[in-house]
Amino acid sequence: MDLPQGVPPAQLLKVLILGAGNFGSCLADHLAEVDHTVYIWSREADVVEGLNKTHRNPKYLTDHTFLQSITAIGPEFPDAEILNHVDVILFAIPTQGLRETLVKVRAGLNSKEQLPLFIFVNKGIEVETQELPLEIIADTCGVDVARVATFVSGPSFAKEIVRRQPTTVSVASLSPEHAQRTSDLFHQPWFRCYTNPDPVGVELAGALKNVYAIASGIADGMGYENNTRADTGLITRSLAEMTRVGTSYGASPLTFLSLAGVGDLFLTCSSTTSRNFTVGRRLGQGEDLDYIIKTLGSVAEGVTTSKALHIILEKLEVKAPIAEGVYAVLYGGRSAKEMAGELMSLPPLSEIDLPVHISKPVRALMKKLGIKEGDLSPRASVLSTIGPD
């Protein structure tokens, strides 16, 4: 197969990637291909050694030979010299480790100078606080940093990007200028970027689709076929649930029809390449969760996000029976068969059921981040003026 050629960027940048798992390593190769200077940090000494000496990652994307220009650093956390040397810091570690990493980055950065561009590719919600990455960034680095942070999300398996399979993603930020800078950094003939002004929606979509991929995997593992799972019933109702949660956060419903929304939902709910789908599939086949996690070898964010989402749903008073079914199987001792029986026994419901108000916790979040209602989407703004508080 002829691989598409890289297009030289207008500006060559120095990029530090934090996390050398599947996605961090893949993006290192993607950026090094067009001559950006790429440093990648791993807390795993064997990964650092492998990338530097043999240009192979011994734990993730093990079949791929990485570009020799990539410099791996670690296992010690990058020092102030490197943190202040780079133009971009790309966070490619699971969401549960994001807060501690941001604290270390902030401590090492020289606050008097212009901060590097912060880019996030993780797809999850912090369990302890039920916060989205945007809020974690505001907590650890301040609202000004959160307002210019950018989030790359969408249907994008690392395994396929390194083989330059055509891929398309959403790039979201409250700052259009920073979204554009991030898009300029990544955009290539095999990796198209679309900017999006709704980071809350994009983050929620990316996090929630992982929970629904577990549901879809469970259905597949139980032997259910097409009507039930992929392309049809379960995925469509998952999209309705995601949109319901998202709009009660003030996100645009259109974001759930974007690459980060339905695009990633379809991808992750219909492929055994997905770790979240695989977790569900193995649960549906009767395996034990602890054993699945121990043997997966890589993160499945939906497992932890399910916990956070369970608490969020209660706080928002939003109904999401599929997500609650996944939570019950993961943490409530419910079998996959019981979950399926309960979902199919629900009374008939209206199909279009978006909420007509922004919930109180979301108003508090928007206030904290300095987001005005009209910033998010026209619909959210209109609804907030007519909906009950």
Ligand X SMILES: O=C(CO)COP(=O)(O)O
Under the criterion CB under 6 A, does residue 20 sit at the interface with ligand NAI?
Answer: yes
Stretch binding ligand X (CB under 6 A), from 10-18, 96-104, 223-231, 261-269: 261-269
Q: Would you list the DSSP string of 67-110?
A: PTT-EEE-SSPP-HHHHHH-SEEEE-S-GGGHHHHHHHHHHHS-
- Which of 238, 248, 270, 276: binder of ligand X (CB under 6 A)? 276
- Work out what residue 268 binds among ligand X, ligand NAI, none; the CB cut-off runs from 5 to 8 Å by kind: ligand X
Stretch binding ligand X (CB under 6 A), from 46-54, 99-107, 272-280, 328-336: 272-280
Which residues, including other chains, have CB under 8 Å from residue 236's CB and lie 6 or more apart? none
Coil, helix or strand at residue 328: helix
Interface of this chain with ligand X, residues 96 to 125, rule: CB under 6 A: 123
Tokens of 94: 């699971």
- The Cα 47–Cα 107 span in angstroms is 25
Q: How far is the CB of 167 from ligand NAI (least distance, A)?
A: 10
Q: How far is the CB of 164 from ligand NAI (least distance, A)?
A: 15
Catalytic residue from among 159, 209, 307, 367: 209
Tokens of 13: 């940048």
Q: Residue 21, annotated ligand binder?
A: yes
State the residue number with the nearest CB to ligand NAI. 21
Q: How far is the CB of 353 from ligand NAI (least distance, A)?
A: 28
Tokens of 113: 């100078």
- Side-chain half-sphere of 84: how many Cα atoms within 13 Å? 10
- Work out what residue 155 binds among ligand NAI, ligand X, none; the CB cut-off runs from 5 to 8 Å by kind: ligand X
Tokens of 333: 């001792």
Under the criterion CB under 6 A, does residue 23 sit at the interface with ligand NAI?
Answer: yes
Which residues, including other chains, have CB under 8 Å from residue 282's CB and lie 6 or more apart? 217, 221, 292
Under the criterion CB under 6 A, does residue 108 sit at the interface with ligand NAI?
Answer: no
Strands 150-153 and 117-120: parallel
Q: How far is the CB of 27 from ligand NAI (least distance, A)?
A: 9
Tokens of 379: 């619909």
- The Cα 234–Cα 310 span in angstroms is 19
- Work out what residue 126 binds among ligand NAI, ligand X, none; the CB cut-off runs from 5 to 8 Å by kind: none
- The Cα 128–Cα 109 span in angstroms is 26
- Which of 134, 267, 269, 376: binder of ligand X (CB under 6 A)? 267
- Which of 19, 74, 155, 250: binder of ligand X (CB under 6 A)? 155
- Which of 125, 158, 179, 219: binder of ligand NAI (CB under 6 A)? 158
- The Cα 368–Cα 310 span in angstroms is 23
- The Cα 47–Cα 73 span in angstroms is 9
Eight-state DSSP code of residue 228: T
Tokens of 133: 């990455």
Under the criterion CB under 6 A, does residue 121 sit at the interface with ligand NAI?
Answer: yes
- Side-chain half-sphere of 38: how many Cα atoms within 13 Å? 29
Stretch binding ligand X (CB under 6 A), from 24-32, 62-70, 149-157, 193-201: 149-157
- The Cα 353–Cα 63 span in angstroms is 46
Q: Is 209 a catalytic residue?
A: yes
Interface of this chain with ligand NAI, residues 292 to 331, rule: CB under 6 A: 298-299, 301
Under the criterion CB under 6 A, does residue 22 sit at the interface with ligand NAI?
Answer: yes
Under the criterion CB under 6 A, does residue 375 sit at the interface with ligand NAI?
Answer: no
Q: Residue 20, annotated ligand binder?
A: yes
Binding site for ligand X (CB under 6 A): 123, 155-157, 210, 213, 264, 267-268, 274-276
Among all residues, which ones are annotated catalytic?
209
Binding site for ligand NAI (CB under 6 A): 19-24, 42-44, 60, 92-95, 97, 101, 121-124, 156-158, 298-299, 301
